Amino acid sequence: MAEHWADRVVCVSEAVRQYFGGGEQVAVVYDPLPGAERYPAAAHPARPDGTVQCLYLSNYIQGKGQDLALAAFEQAYARDQRLRLLFVGGDMGMAKNRQFREQLEARVRAGGLQEVIRFAGFAADVEQAIKEADVLLNFSESESFSLTCLDALYYGTPLIASDCGGPAELFENGHSGLLVPNRDVAAMAAAITQLAADAGLRTQFAAAGRAYVRQKFAPAGTYEKLGALYAAVLGR
């Protein structure tokens, strides 16, 4: 309905624009980059214990992909016991979200993986959490954009994301990250295994991702596009 009543509709991605039919009055203006970094760029050196730490940063909500990540990680861990996984996120004070987290934790206990897969609450310092990880996973079933993916690329942590909308527009698959088919647990597991085994590829993705998003999502470009849209509408 918005496209029929509004002079302009601003979308955060091409994926959202297609939802509105892609008419002339529908424009894409990407969200800008986060603010200045507070910590040095992550170097991702080999850990003393040889482990490879994966991070899943998202509130515990059905559809955000933690269940898919857990299933994929179980397969990947069976191939590479160096892998570790940390879930970080809040439940937003909602019972159904607490139940979702509890279901995930129960599955981990049933598989005897409590020492390998850990759960934490809301991250007060997102930059630090991302930079402490070797790989960030995001297997949401639907995303209009994904600030979490943008943050990972901006902060220089290699990314594996599902092809669920906006994330596909944030990086170049195979050059600055890995894009896997939506809800494809086997493909997710293969991607995790691939990045865990290849430190050189992780380094390449980290550098390429940082460079790519700084060019594509520079705040100045966002503000210029918004300014031009406002000027066009007000000048009618």
What is the CATH classification number for the domain harbouring 126?
A: 3.40.50.2000
What does the block give as tokens for 99? 């139940």
pLDDT score at 235: 85
Mean pLDDT, the chain, rounded, equals 95
Query: Does some domain include residue 149?
Result: yes
* Confidence check: pLDDT of 236 > 70: no
The DSSP bridge partners found for residue 143 are: 165
Query: Are residues 117 and 88 in contact, defined by beta-carbon separation less than 8 angstroms?
Result: no
Q: What is the dihedral of CA 86, 89, 94, 96, to 10 degrees?
A: -30
How many domains is the chain built from? Answer: 2
pLDDT at residue 6, as a whole number:
83
Say how far apart CA 65 and CA 52 lie, in whole Å: 20
pLDDT on residue 113? 99
What is the extent of the structural domain holding 162? 52-216
**Position 2 pLDDT exceeds 60:** no
Task: Give pLDDT, residue 75.
Answer: 99
pLDDT per residue as tens digits for the range 54-104: 999 999 999 999 999 999 999 999 999 999 999 999 999 999 999 999 999
Q: Are 13 and 28 in contact (CB under 8 A)?
A: yes
Q: Are residues 177 and 228 in the same domain?
A: no
110's tokens = 């049933």
Q: What pTM did the predictor assign?
A: 0.95
